[in-house]
Amino acid sequence: MKYIEEFGDFRLAQDLATQIARLSKRPVNLMEVCGSHTAAIFRHGIRDLLPSTIRLLSGPGCPVCVTAASDVDKALAIARTPGVVFATFGDMMRVSGSEGNLQQARAEGSDVRIVYSPLDALDFAQREPTKRVVFFAVGFETTSPLIAATLKRAISLGVENFSVFSVHKLIPPALRVLVSSQEVNIDGFMLPGHVSAIIGTSPYRFLAEEFHTPAVVSGFEPLDILQSILMLVVQREIGRAEIEIQYRRVVSAEGNRRALRLLEEIFCPVYDSWRGLGTIPQSGLKLRKGLKKWDAEAHFDLPSRPVQEDPDCQCGKVLRGVILPTQCSLFGKRCTPENPLGPCMVSAEGTCSAHYRYGVLA
Amino acid sequence: MEEREKASLKSTGRILLAHGAGGKLGHQLVADEILPLFSNPILARMDDSAILEIEGFRLAFTSDSYVVDPLFFPGGDIGRLAVCGTVNDLSMGGAKPLYLSLSLILEEGFPVEDMTRILLSSRRAAGEAGVQIVTGDTKVVGKGGVDKIFLNTSGIGLIPDRRVLASGHNARSGDQVILSGYLGDHGIAVISQREGIFWGEEIHSDVAPLNGLVEDIFRASQEVHALRDPTRGGLASALNEIARQSRVGIVLEESNIPIREPVRGACELLGLDPLYVANEGKLVAIVGRDAASDILEAMRKNPLGQRAEIIGEIVENPKGKVLLKTRIGGTRVVDMLVGEPLPRIC
């Protein structure tokens, strides 16, 4: 099966749109949590196929967007230390802390390298034994197992000049904050497809059992997204609240046990600070105490001052689905993709960035 | 440039890698820091080549530097790229390319064998294009001074008498947008080689001289309003430039845009959008509505235009913007690239 072609089929898409329009009677707010869903919805113009009863909100599932500015400052402090090779995923390069960003640090002479995989960073450490290689571990449950596996390999190979600065986060605790929010009524969640491939569906059960809110694990092709919206609308219309899987070709209810075991071996959940959502208990991942040798935070003198956010920046409200980017006074004026003031504009999958780059103009 | 897009380059004070990516930042650098120093009406037009009127003749003149890494990739190398790039810039101005200069900056320690291989490739490309390399320069710098080898080519071409100049400023409402073939081959081939990622089916760069195809187009019709080769920044950047220069809107049909399956797959995996990936053997032609089918037919008879398609049209509004009608029936804006396309996390 050729997914990209078949799952973008015009006629099938129009059929799903027709079914959605026929069934959707009451106005609903559906939140898609994952940055890739935000981007896909815009890229394919999904909103144009939906009836006016459905309002799609974007949530905080963009790891770049929710990384605290104080963590970016720590990353910069590490990167600017002489003798350090700072390895990072590409989309963290342009996120600003209080003193610039990694892209600028590189331009100023720091050895900052973009990698596709943490294994590449481990490779640097092995090839350059006089350098201290630090990997900036950003990402949700889709990504953290890979970092865990890389660390395991580093440990077994005895690579001592490799360490990880983890700012990994977990999705379900953020969902709890969102669904309990007084600011906006969320009638259903489109759940992140690849995070769910790792964690399965049981971590989401509280949405249905405690909050009577339906949720559907969705794939990323246009037909996946439309089918998930249909499934949410159906549940809403008949008053059901269940966790369903639309993305059945990739996601199973019990998730990926091996990945989960790896995570447990290497990381432990901690109280963590999310840009826009504040501090959430058990929502971040840090290295277990016994792994201090590979924990960058134990090796560097890191600043811990709280960072002054721009008081006009409304990223928090955008990340919580309270306002649309177009309702932020800075959007498109002081804050643009070339000159991003807040993280929602920096990441290619940030809500503001997607609105700006893909949004059809008034 | 719109007020909201004036970024604070001043705040960084340094050149960023992103300035070289062919998108908004690069344009701003040129517009704010470079152009004002050399203002003249020829430069101000900012087309692919400068058009010079000398003694009744119209010459096109252009220059380009080549710093691609890796030097050798499936389908080509820096030597071929250096010749085709400049030949194509001249062709986009409607000129027949004639003569090129070729300058080399070599890093100490660079193998002579590699240099020869590159130069032979340049020779072959020049032969295919029917141009001669008539002058050049060679410099050597110490280790680290450049990355192995950098090339620069400059070229001149002659615009035939009575040929109406194709320019980014001439697109008009009703015109058709024709793309000469598959998008994204070159950029993906280079990235794959650089990152050591191999796909099931090898993806080749499309690097080729387009002057023959351009002559076929003009033979079919003179109603050619603009020609552009979508190199760095891809089709999206090329069309955004034209939309701005001509103060028109462009609407594209996603389902008409030809993209090879493995390229589409590679883009999905890497988080890249094929509309922004570089091409080195493709052109986009903005042509009068009535001339479109003749031109399309002529293009398809040329080996470099076999998969040519009409991918969209020029509209009155929204001015300066490019829109895409998606495969599933939605609409979205195709914005100009901001900086480097950064591969995403998850």
State the residue for tokens 């197992």: A145
Burial class for A278, CB neighbours closer than 10 Å (0-12, 13-18, 19+): exposed
Q: Are residues A263 and A348 in the same domain?
A: no
Listed by number, the residues of chain B in 105-124 with a beta carbon closer than 8 Å to a beta carbon of chain A are none
Sequence-ordered list of residues with C-beta below 8 angstroms from that of A66, at least 6 positions apart, any chain: A60, A169, A174, A274, A275, A276, A277, A319, A343
Whether the CB of B10 is below 8 Å from some CB of chain A: the reply is no
Dihedral sign for Cα atoms in the order A2, A249, B191, B243: positive
- Ramachandran assignment for A317, one of left (phi > 0), alpha (psi -120 to 50 degrees), beta (any other): alpha
Closest chain A residue to B197 measured between Cα atoms? A116
- HSE-up (13 A, CA, CB side) for residue B153: 31
What pLDDT, in 10s, does the model give residues A61-107? 889 889 998 999 999 999 999 999 999 998 899 888 888 899 999 99
> Residue A184: which CATH number?
3.40.50.11740
Domain B176-333 has CATH 3.40.50.10440: no
Core vs surface per residue B124-149: b (16+ CB within 10 A) or e: ebbebbebebeebeeeeeeeeebebb
Residues of A within 8 A of B325 (CB-CB) are 45
- Below-70 pLDDT ranges, chain A: 1, 360-362
What superfamily does domain B45-159 belong to in CATH? PurM-like, N-terminal domain (3.30.1330.10)
- The predicted pLDDT at position A94 comes to 85
Whether the CB of A337 is below 8 Å from some CB of chain B: the reply is yes
Residues of B within 8 A of A143 (CB-CB) are 345-346
Q: Are residues A322 and A189 in the same domain?
A: no
Whether the CB of B5 is below 8 Å from some CB of chain A: the reply is yes
What amino acid is encoded at A271 in this protein? Answer: Y
Q: Compute the nearest-CA separation of A243 from chain B (Å).
A: 23
Q: Are residues A74 and A125 in the same domain?
A: yes
Q: Are residues A331 and A285 in the same domain?
A: no
What pLDDT, in 10s, does the model give residues A133-173? 999 999 999 999 999 999 999 999 999 999 999 999 999 99
Whether the CB of A10 is below 8 Å from some CB of chain B: the reply is yes
Q: Are residues A49 and A180 in the same domain?
A: yes
> What does residue B15 show for φ and ψ, rounded to 5 degrees?
-75, 135
Residues of B within 8 A of A4 (CB-CB) are 261, 264-265, 268
State the residue for tokens 């309002």: A55
Q: Are residues A209 and A323 in the same domain?
A: no
- The predicted pLDDT at position B4 comes to 36
Q: Are residues A16 and A73 in the same domain?
A: yes
Provide the whole-model pTM.
0.86
Three-state SS at B83:
helix
Contact (CB<8Å) A91/B345? yes
How far apart CA B330 and CA B318 sit, in angstroms, is: 17
How far apart CA A106 and CA A93 sit, in angstroms, is: 9
DSSP state of A332: T
Whether the CB of A220 is below 8 Å from some CB of chain B: the reply is no
Contact (CB<8Å) B14/A108? yes
Closest chain B residue to A350 measured between Cα atoms? B344
Q: Are residues A239 and A327 in the same domain?
A: no
H-type alpha helices, chain A? 3-6, 10-23, 35-43, 63-66, 69-79, 102-107, 118-127, 144-157, 171-179, 193-199, 205-211, 222-237, 257-266, 296-299, 315-319, 343-346, 351-358
- The predicted pLDDT at position B5 comes to 38
Q: Do domains B45-159 and B176-333 have the same CATH topology?
A: no
Residues of A within 8 A of B333 (CB-CB) are 357-361
- Below-70 pLDDT ranges, chain B: 1-12, 21-23, 199-201, 338-346
Q: Are residues A195 and A333 in the same domain?
A: no
Q: Are residues A14 and A141 in the same domain?
A: yes
Q: Compute the nearest-CA separation of A292 from chain B (Å).
A: 25
Q: How many domains does chain A have?
A: 2
- Domain residue extents for chain B: 45-159, 176-333
Domain range for A334 is: 315-358
